[in-house]
Amino acid sequence: MGKKRLVIGLFFLLFLLVSTALYADIKLKIAVVNPSEIESQTTPVRYDLPKGMTPDIITDAGNMELKYDFDKNNYYLYQVVKLKPSEKLVLEIKLKDMWIIPAKYINFLKEHTRAMNAQLANTRHAKSGDTLTKKIIDRLDGILKKGADQTMTMGEHINLYYENLGILGEVKEDIGMLEDLVLDVGGIVEERVQVPATLAIPIKTDEKNRAGAVDMTIEVTNPSKTSKQTTKVKYVLPEEVAPRYVIDRGDLDMGYDFTKQSFYVYKDSVMLDPSETKTFVIKIMDVWQVPALELDTLKAHTDNLMTLLKGTEYMAQAKPMADKITASLNEIRRTQALKVSAEEHIAYYRDNEETLTEAKSLVNQLEKFVSQSGASAGVTVKEAEVQKGGGPKEKRARGYEGIDYIVRSIFKGKAPTVATTWKIIYTILIFLGILAALFFGLWFVQVKQSHKRGESIGPVEKRPAEKPDMLTEEKPEAPGDKSE
């Protein structure tokens, strides 16, 4: 059993080959080696499919058998192989390339972004729209450019896919912010890409401008005091880390762990002298910070909402919520300023993310109070307010903007599509037609019934002709005497 572990632990290698053009298929090679020069070995070989992937991505499994792991909730390929002394066996698997973000979808997002920004021209959000649009387009172009690189190995290709997924999530959030700006100036958004949690829209700083870096240290030691040792190094990075955030990883390589759904750094072979300890330092951009701009925006937006709620029936409920929001934002600022270890810093960040989500939920409730009071919550853009001098607006229009916000609430943050609009119009016309036909039918029935009632009375009797006066005798008129 120990020898089998040695075979699996040291000689089970997975090679990600350079793919063909357009990444039609991914070729994976599994090399299994028998380290013994005198004994044959029988050992199981297993390859786990990425979590969430289904069997239809396999185009050729060779002699390997497909199975399902109920504990890990994923499929895997399995084969028992027998190896002669010093024999090396290579098993090949072919998979469909599921690690591609379609260029068609990227181009759709670019066109949608430009269309949204065009509606912001000559409005109070024009400058903020231009800032967001440039940021969105630059990132989408970066995804297309990197994806067109045909010199990548499949390992690099898969790593890039998961990194691009993170970028795409941030891009969609920015597009949702852009859509909110359009709705705030009375524009039309037929199909929303993403609906932000609140109407507080920070123009977030780029990750290149994030302050500070976090150092993570990995140490490997040879426990033997007499002999050299070769070992493998693998360190799973925190889930928030993507390759673009790694400033320096030394001579370590980077991969993606499908099971843990996180990136990791590794080195397959590290030679250690007796009792030697080697240290690897990874320098990572400090992504465990809630941007100060986002905190400032939420605070400014909360102040705006409370100004609108002054003197309304909702003020008593809103005041404790606003106080809790302010306290939560202050607590986030306090913990982020602490000088602690990298592990504690990350732990604080994850707690702060939960705190921020709760604060946004309370802000969303304040927005509903404002809407119910008949006012428009509007959109708070921190960058624009700083440029204009800051401070909450004392009054907002309660006419069209208030109605517009209610309409947007009915449609859950997005305007109806053109098709939906025409369906509504046709429905109204049909309803009016049915109503008109009903009134006409009632009128016709009433007229018919009235006519029938008249016929049931019978013909009107003729009055008898009056007898001529006996004293005056009528003379017949002469034919020529009739006056015209």
Q: Are residues 19 and 40 in the same domain?
A: yes
Q: Do 286 and 256 contact (CB within 8 A), yes or no? A: no
The pLDDT-based confidence of 407 (bands split at 50, 70, 90) is very low
Closest alpha carbon to 195 in 402, 366, 412: 412
The CATH number of the domain holding residue 73 is 2.60.40
Q: What average pLDDT does the structure give for the chain?
A: 80
Residue that is last in its domain, among 63, 96, 129: 96
Q: Are residues 313 and 389 in the same domain?
A: yes
pLDDT score, position 383:
65
Domain contains 142? no
- Number of folded domains that form the chain: 4
Residue 109 has pLDDT above 80, yes or no: yes
Residue 315 has pLDDT above 50, yes or no: yes
Q: Are residues 291 and 255 in the same domain?
A: no
**How many whole angstroms separate alpha carbon 21 and alpha carbon 239?**
31
Residue that is last in its domain, among 382, 409, 436: 409
Q: Are residues 371 and 304 in the same domain?
A: yes
Domain contains 131? no
pLDDT over 90 for what percent of the chain? 36
pLDDT score, position 472:
46
Q: Are residues 367 and 280 in the same domain?
A: no
Between 73 and 5, the more confident residue is 73
pLDDT score, position 96:
83
Q: Are residues 331 and 427 in the same domain?
A: no
Q: Are residues 321 and 390 in the same domain?
A: yes
pLDDT digits (tens, 9 = 90+) for 52-96: 778 888 888 888 999 998 887 888 899 999 999 888 888 888 888
pLDDT score, position 221:
93
Q: Are residues 308 and 403 in the same domain?
A: yes
Q: Are residues 359 and 423 in the same domain?
A: no
pLDDT digits (tens, 9 = 90+) for 341-363: 889 999 999 999 999 999 999 99
Domain contains 454? no
Q: If you average pLDDT over residues 257-266, what whole number do you get?
A: 85
The pLDDT-based confidence of 9 (bands split at 50, 70, 90) is very low
**What is the extent of the structural domain holding 428?**
416-449
Q: Are residues 353 and 273 in the same domain?
A: no
Residue that is last in its domain, among 355, 378, 409: 409
pLDDT digits (tens, 9 = 90+) for 187-244: 999 889 988 888 888 877 655 555 588 899 999 999 988 888 888 899 999 999 989 8
